[in-house]
Structure 1
Amino acid sequence: MDLNSEQLRALCAVIDHGGFDAAAAALHLTPSAVSQRIKGLEKQVGAVLVRRGKPAAVTEPGAVLLRLARQSAALEADAARRLGLGEHAGRPRVQLVINADSMATWVLPALAPLQDISFEFTLEDQDYSAQSLRDGTAMGAVTSSSAAVQGCSVEALGTMRYLPVASPDFTRRWLPDGWNRTSAAAAPMLVFNRKDSLQQRLLSDCFGPGLAPPHHFVPASWDFLQAARLGFGWAVLPDLQAAPLLTDGSLILLDAGHSLDVPLFWQQWRVDLPALSRVAEALTGAAARALA
């Protein structure tokens, strides 16, 4: 299959900019020219690649070509950078998808020494981050999936342990008789977002299925931690975050016998990009020190 690089660029532009008109403006073409390039690519592969809409979305076959297009663009930019040519002669850019708890604890310190790389971070739940690798949105991801995405390598990072905690004031108010099925059914809990199932999983582990306590959505890692300290609800926190607060008494461990262990994996494009290799080395080394 002899794919046309201009057609692949058009596919990237349509998805990145959300539609044909915006893609045309970015590529300095007419919308008709962009449409013809996409139609030509679709005819060549025999499949619809783009769902026309607002925004435009990639189909499953389109995701395969979109990843190829982005990998090809990254390799071209790297070659231009090594040769000192054109707009790509400066800093490499690495797109990463990271779960919020890793970002808030061990990822940023690991990457801070790489001052000659520009990063584009996207936060996503570890159970969903692999999708960004499938469509080429990210070059690498911290994910809970051990199954390698097609075209990617995978390496175990370690296990992030989560502990059930609450503030002393919250415990006195909502759990006066201790952490049990009755009190847990009534005590408010903190949930990161609608993809976050950790609190519900821990409740099921402790007391069996069927509990549905009131809850607050707090979709930012620092604010989530602050909400737990301020007594909005009990929470499941990474031990990396919880340990110092348990030591100074800001938080109380609700159940020493129950925790959640979430295995984490590093997945990345299987391409020869020096910047991506350096990122992988930094992250795997930091994870070996930080995670169980």
Structure 2
Amino acid sequence: MQMKHCFIMLDYPALAAVSAVIREGTFERAAEALNITPSAVSQRVRGLEERLGAVLIVRGQPCEPTELGATLRAHFDRVQLLEADLQPHLNPPEDSRAAPLTVKLAVNSDSLATWFPEAAAAFVRATGMLLDLTLDDEAHTADRLRSGEVHAVVTSDPEPVQGCRTIELGSLRYRACASPEFIARHFGNGIDPGALAKAPLLRFERRDTLQARWAFETHGVKLAAPTHWVPSTQGFVDFALRGLGWGMHPAPLTQAHIAAGTLQELPPGRPFDVKLYWTVTRIQARSLRVLTDAVRDVAAASLITD
């Protein structure tokens, strides 16, 4: 018996509505973004759901995608990037006011505070596109690529992602720093397990293990100390300058403070390097090629390379 396959032609205006609702969080804001009425957005979404026989958006405040809804949104985003390559060969109406396309990325906070903005600027100057950045820990940004949320990530995870390519960028150097007053108060007799157990430390979030890794590798200590939770790269520096705790800081942000004597490295002054990678979807869109080139060029000039 011959098996028949049924292919469903997707309704791209309806996909645009689904994508807008997921992006904006409500049908009303999606309508404003698409310049149509909320009723039209609702009809397009409902019509596509009925045609596919599946719910695409969980209605709420905000609206959230189902697994299929997220997959379709990711597909729509990829199609938009590919269609952008056709634009120079087409003759759009002179009164066309299409908004610039947006490329979605996941980046760790420390890269965003140091080297990544220069790469972003080079990309925007070359393409005129916009960027939608999601901040996440460098060990977990790749999960957002696997889920289809973003087109590319800066990550410390070298594991391959299906449908993507991974490029080694170099290492972001960190230094364990605190104010001179803090070091005198908590480490006046040197660093030992007892002092590290009592001295307050800074952590970005619960998944931030840099301080614990440095303490173990340099002093053989399993760190369990009083903790300030500071989810900000600049906040880390500000808390350290005010003597509130010690932490691992990106070297580019501490260089001037160390030179001025307002921060000091904790003994033995050993830096800690975190290797970073650029993982990007393999769709053959010019925008992603330009972005990848910009990221590689800036990383080569800014990060520690072997």
Asked whether 1:241 is paired with 2:253, we answer yes
Please tell me whether residue 250 in structure 1 is matched to residue 262 in structure 2: yes
Cα distance between partner residues in 1 of 2:112 and 2:168: 17
Q: Give runs of aligned pairs for residues 1-292 of structure 1, distance below 5 A.
A: 1=7, 2-27=9-34, 28-31=36-39, 33-42=40-49, 45=52, 47-80=54-87, 83=90, 85=92, 86-88=96-98, 93-114=102-123, 115-116=125-126, 117-120=128-131, 121-134=133-146, 136-205=148-217, 206-209=219-222, 211-256=223-268, 259-292=271-304
Question: Which residue type is aligned with residue 154 of structure 2?
Answer: V
One-letter code aligned to 2:199: A
* Structure 1, 267-276 or 154-163: larger mean CA deviation: 267-276
Equivalent-residue separation in structure 1 for 2:104 and 2:275 (angstroms): 22
% of aligned pairs identical? Answer: 37
Gap regions ≥5 residues in structure 2: 1-6
The letter for the 1-side match of 2:115 is W
Alpha-carbon distance between aligned partners in 2 of 1:258 and 1:141, rounded to the nearest angstrom: 28
SS in 2 for 1:146: coil
Cα deviation for residue 110 of structure 1 reads 3.4
Contact between 2:26 and 2:61, CA under 8 Å: does it hold in 1? yes
TM-score normalized with structure 2 length: 0.80
- 1:47 is displaced (CA, Å) by 4.5
SS in 2 for 1:261: strand
Moved more, 176-185 or 115-124: 115-124
**Alpha carbon RMSD of aligned pairs, Å?**
2.8
Count of residue pairs the alignment pairs up = 289
Structure 1 gaps of 5+ residues are: none
Shift of 1:83: 3.5
Q: If the length of structure 1 is used for normalisation, what is the TM-score?
A: 0.84
Cα 1:45–1:179, aligned 2, differ >3 Å: closer, same or farther? farther
1:92·1:275 contact (CA, 8 Å) conserved in 2? no
Residue 182 of structure 1 deviates from its aligned partner by 0.9
Whole-angstrom CA distance in 2 between matches of 1:159 and 1:215: 26
Against the structure 1 CA distance between its residues 248 and 82, is the aligned structure 2 distance closer, same or farther, given a 3 Å change threshold? farther
